[in-house]
Structure 1
Amino acid sequence: MKRTTVGGLDVSAQGLGCMGMSEYYGVSDWDTNIATIQHAIDVGVTFFDTADQYGSGHNEVLLGRGIAGRRDTVQIATKFGIDRSSGDDLRVYRGDPPYVKRSCDSSLLRLGIDHIDLYYLHRPPQNAEIEDTVGAMAELVSAGKVRYLGLSEVSADLLRRAHTVHPIAAVQSEYSLWTRDVEHVTPVMAELGIGLVPYSPLGRGFLTGAVQTAALDPTDFRARNPRFTGDAAQHNQVIADTVRGVADRLGVLPAQVALAWVYAQAPRLGVSVVPIPGTRHAQRLDQNVASLDVDLDADALAQLQPLSDLVMGGRYADHGVR
């Protein structure tokens, strides 16, 4: 497994996003998920991503069990700030300092660890100034509870403001062939030495060509996602078909092409890029890791680069999952 750094934190070049093991993608199996986490460690994946809101704490407990006895070999990233306690329709993006500190202590308890390697603010807060929130996060670093700080889905202006309070190591944002909004922020990230951690680099599975949109389980949030439903699903199929065409020509899988494209953007963006594709299955994890050895030629990049301009539909139907 290749390794890299995000803002000074040494991590495997590919991480594992654990959200789907607890929520949003239909029924999941505890034992299978634990086995996948442990298999990931066996093949060299050491960077694991979770959040306190995934499964309302379930995901942190799951990950904690998965890494038990191997804590010294992994880097754990988790997030706080999405308060769902009043229901998803009334969720609040919080950053008030007492909440920050309580959230960290609760995550440490659920994970069963004594420090978090990378602690993200999940969304810009609605009830606090970014300086106050990051100031409270910085106190967690001073207390030894957190090593590095991160932000998720943040604007360039807020990132600059946060970085003046305490160095930010990483920005986590959705980034893939069909979602490139964060490229408005990467110039500031490059200037400040901040790494990019792309989530959903496979377009929530759409770019793999394996998602049958008409057959999605009602408990799968993609069944209500604008890009996966109605006319948009049919319109966006050309994107998945293009990815598959490139994959067939290169003799690899569509998922590997999509991930290889993400890696190929690092020199252009001037930032380290560590994607965290999610999966619940060891075989797919192995396929994703193999993307590190896929080189896209000029023809492939020329076909893939404009695909984001073809997308129909927003990223979320209503409340953002992540």
Structure 2
Amino acid sequence: MDLRLLSSFLAVVEEGHFGRAAARLFLSPAAVTQHIAKLESALGAPLLHRGPPVSPTPAGLRMAGHARTLLAAADAARDDMAEFTGTGGAPGRPDEGRPLRVGIMGHGSAELTPAAINAFRRARPGVPVEVGQLDFTEHSSALLEDRVDVAFIRPAPDDERVAVDVLTTEQRIVAVPESSPYAAAREEGLRVADVAAIPFFRVPPHTPRPFTEYLYFGDEGARRGDAFALTPQEVLTGVVTGRAAGSGLKSFARYYGWPGAVFVPVLDAPWESTYLAVRADDAGRPHPEIPVFRALTLALARELGPQISRGAAPR
């Protein structure tokens, strides 16, 4: 697919005006109009309502997400190939065949996580991808100990050795047993003050402080039950057996809808984000495919993130 057509289409969508899009791209309005017509002809569907104002059709909305992903991948590819510029050829890379190791805490960034991994596999079919689950204590240690190359985590680490990109932002929830008196608030929700009385599961002492603050809504003195947990599955086991409650993001309910567990929104808790994390200023042997994976993930986050934040499962 011609990237020039995609650039023109995306510029019109973002500017809402053919003339402004043309000025942004240093093209004539006629050239931009021609690019859009060619793209619509190639796809066999109208992408824009000509207005005024100019706005995307349903097909155009979907295509805008694909355009962002494709253009981000092209930018990442150009950056990746910069080292070969002017060399007269592309020698074999010493990292060829080296797997990209992706760590995921819990369900990661909901539907965005598998979408990003699958998009990378399509873009880089020759690069092996190893996916591993991270427990609550591996919030940043898996990256810092070079056990993964990129990680889907929450919340952001308080460590300058880790760089993060915001992917999704969601409402907070608590998971309680169906028999709990708090389960009746599944529709109207709870307040942080109510949550303080709920016995939460415990985590090991070496769990990073940002993660414990996230789990207990910033209350280090939060009531703790007798159940320990290192993974969402262990949290849910504690919940459905009535031993402890857990906390998470709204999308948690879509991924962990266990019978006997009720998910209650916490109305006045600050919304929390999920992140893509990498090592900052990696002085070791950073994986050369990290920029490509990062670019694809951020492009998809712009497309899918708002849907996840609203609580709708992306199509």
TM-score, normalised to structure 1, is: 0.23
Q: Comparing both chains, which one has the higher relative contact order based on Cα–Cα distances under 8 Å and sequence gaps of 6 or more?
A: 2
Higher strand proportion (structure 1 or 2): 2
TM-score, normalised to structure 2, is: 0.23
Higher helix proportion (structure 1 or 2): 1
**Greater C-alpha Rg:** 2
